Each structure stands twice: as C-alpha cells, then as structure tokens.
Structure 1
Amino acid sequence: MRDFHGNQVDQLKGRPDGGQAGRRSLLKVTAALLGATLIPGISSRVMAEPTDSENKPVSASAGRSSSSMGRFEARPQDVQILFVDLQDSLTHGSRSITPAALRNNAGVLAKIARLLGIPMTFSLVPVKGKPGELISELRPYSNAHNTSQRLLAPSFTDEAMVASLANNRRQTLIICGFATEVAVLESALGAINSGYTVHVPVDVIGSASSRTESAALRQMELAGALPTSIISLAAKWSPNFSEEPGASVLAAFSEIQTTN
C-alpha cells in the first residue's frame, strides 16, 4: 500500500493491534543487538557481581569499606610497638609536647603494652660519638634482643631492628618517637613500604616545632599512616575495664599527660 506521495505504507497498520506487537518485538531485538555490540562489558560485569548469602548483589564499595575499616582495628594480637630515638639528649628539645609529657606518655604506653603482652622494639642513634641512651621511663622494657643502635636517620636501614620487628610476626606497627619530622616520619614511611599497617599516637611523638610536626603528620597520613592516641589504642586493645587487664589499663589512663 502506498500513500498519496507514493511512499510505501507500513503493512502492519492493517493489523488489529495497529502493529504494536511487531514493533515491540523489533525493539527487543534491537536492544539485544546493541547490548551485544556497543556495550559488551555490561553483561559480563553484571554476571560477575558478587552476591551475599541470600543471593543479593553486594556492591564493590561495600567490600572496600569493610577492608578499609580493618585498618583501624589494631587488634592486640596483631600489634607491636616501635619506639624511635626517645633519648634524653634529644627529647629535651621537644616543643610540640613538653619533654616531661613525652617521656611520661612513652612510659605509660610501654606499661600498657606489657600488661597486654604486646612486643616492643627500641631504636637509638649515637649522639656526639657516643651510643644513644634510652629515656629512663623505657629502660625497664628494653633488653639486648629488642634494642639496637643505628647510624642512619631512616630506622628501616637498621637490619637488626627490621629483623626484630619481623620476628614478632605482627603486621600492625605503632610508631612513637622524636623527632616527628625525622625519626617518626622515616620510620612510618619505611614501615608502610615494608607492608605494615602504621598507627602514630600523637601524644607519644615530639618535635621542636608544631608547624613542621603538622606537616610531617600530614605526609604520614597521606602515605597511609593512621593518627591516634594512647587512649584510643588501649580502648581497642582491652575494652572491658571491669576486669583485668582492662582495669589496670584504665588506671594507666590517669597517668597520661596532655598538652595543647
């Protein structure tokens, strides 16, 4: 059939449904062809999408979120602590936190670590040609096996210290020390590069300048380190304060010195 211009008229119009069924079939076929030729990746992604126990799709972002949250857990059985360059001859220059508060807080963290069986490692540097001496607050926890002297600023150049950490077989590393811009920063970057999850308690690090310490903390955070505090860590390690060792951990909180 032709119209008055002589053009062919759709023969489907003569059907009872006005050709709607035929057009719907044509649209379905066209859509299928487009899906197969223009966007071939969509069907494969849908088929590969993970599902939960009820066969419901699980978004990729949910999986990433769960994995990221694991970094914040800091479970005591996975944790060890590295104290870097906490020496009287160095810490006396701290201004971002008072030298007394820095030494005291390091001692509090070490006490909590001992209560919970968390391994500790100590790294020192020579000063004026003499071996570095650990602050008195940490000496009760130091021995020949967990303490070493190094010559270079980056602590992860010290093979003895690296071996001590590896022997503990714990992949979450708490890093404390002085100065933040050198010993703590280099230790954090070295640890992250070695595969450790790094937490930095800001009340157990010190610097001669709050301004430069803030820059170093920002750099560590961008690299993947997590800023935290003694109380935040200890509350994760031993959340039940009504019985031991949580009761002793809670008592240790009162010894922490805070400075603004």
Structure 2
Amino acid sequence: MTEVLSVSGLSVFYGTSAQAVENVSFAVGDGQVVTLLGANGAGKTSIMKAIAGLIPSRGEILFGGEPISALPARERVKRGIIYVPEGREIVANMSVRENLVLGGYHLAARDRRTRTEMVLDLFPEIANKADRAAWRLSGGEQQMLAIGRGLMAAPKLLLLDEPSLGLAPMLVRRVFDRLAAIRRESDLAIVLVEQNLAMSMRICDELHFLRGGRIIGHRTAADLKDNAARQEAIDAYLGAASAA
C-alpha cells in the first residue's frame, strides 16, 4: 500500500515550554482511514493543525513521499491536504451553495460546478437547501456542509476533526453514514479525530490512542471486532465513557 502521509517524531509546543504533542509517529495509506482517539487535551487537534501547516511543529511530515514541513498551509492545500476543523466554522450568512463554492475557490468554474453537484449528490440532506442560509441548517446538516466544503477542493487527504462534536446520537449516525459512503465511493485518505470509538469503528482501518500528547496504543479495526478486545481497549486507553 502506498503511503499518502507519513508522520515521524512529531512534536508541538505552545510558547516556550508547553508541549502539546510529543514524538508522535503514524502513517496513512492510499484510501485508508486512520483514527486518532483520545480525551480532550490529548493533542489530537494539535496534530491535525501541524499536518495542515496551521501551527509550527518539529519532526518530519511526508506527503506523497515528499517532505512538507517547511511548506505554508496554502501550499499544502494546493497539494491536496484539506483540514475540516472541529466546530464546523461554516460562513453562516452565506448560502449552502456559496459555502461550497468557497471550498473550491481555486478550481476553474467548470470544475467547481461539477464538484458542487457531486457534493450535493453525496449529501442529499442539504441538496434541497442549497440556496438557504447556512445558519438555518441543523447541526448535523452543518457538519455535512463542512465536510462537503472540504471535498470541494478535490483533496487527496482529508483531516476531519471531531465530526460528532455537539451532535445528538441520531445526527452523529447520519454524518457517519455519509462518511461511510465517501469511503465506499472514493480512494480518499482520511485522518479522523474522534472521542467516539463505536462510530470510528464503522469507517476506520487503524486506530491510534492518545493521552497527554503521546500515542499510547495502536489497534487495527480488525483487532477490535471482538467485543472483549474492544472493551479491553476502552478500559486501557479511553475509559468507559468513550464506548458510546
């Protein structure tokens, strides 16, 4: 399997002494979904922002086999790395369609139209609301819009940060249903940050468990198909609250 992303010895500091991430290493293969799981403050978002080029970091980041640590965020976007942040951060007073166009701003007009229709086909929940202001969407629909906006850029690697954050269980299932469809219909590589193990298991290939800015465990999805093995991982790395 070809490696799309390789992270080696990644460390992130805030200020001169506060270390958020310590010596993290993992890889993502072509078409693979890799999940980073852990509680708040585990360093998950800092890892995502470092890969996207939004914060400085130490260590090596390879994308498509080439070093990108020195590249600015804009150049990483051009190469196909798209970050969908937690909290969605859509432009509330713009329409659904305008938000999508914003995600594909660097594409030619014809390509933007094609990808807009592709995204709306993928997310029928927002397709019939394309000309409605984004603030009028439900929380789950806003999350679908945020993911769709990321897909507009035709990414090779999607960094998806806490898509279940703040959503009711039914809406979480709807969002992950759409992610499963993306998984089936494309070879897009995804790094998924989550606290919800059960939902992550629906779409991922590998899971890395984080605590205190370090990776403390690794499992494949196949390892955790057995209920006893899943409970063991929950007890060891996450605590019972993360099982839901």
Give the TM interval when normalised to the shorter protein: 0.3 to 0.5
Q: Which has the higher contact order (CA 8 A, sep 6+)?
A: 2
Which structure dedicates a bigger proportion of its chain to helix? 1
TM-score (norm 2): 0.34
Query: Which has the larger Rg?
Result: 1
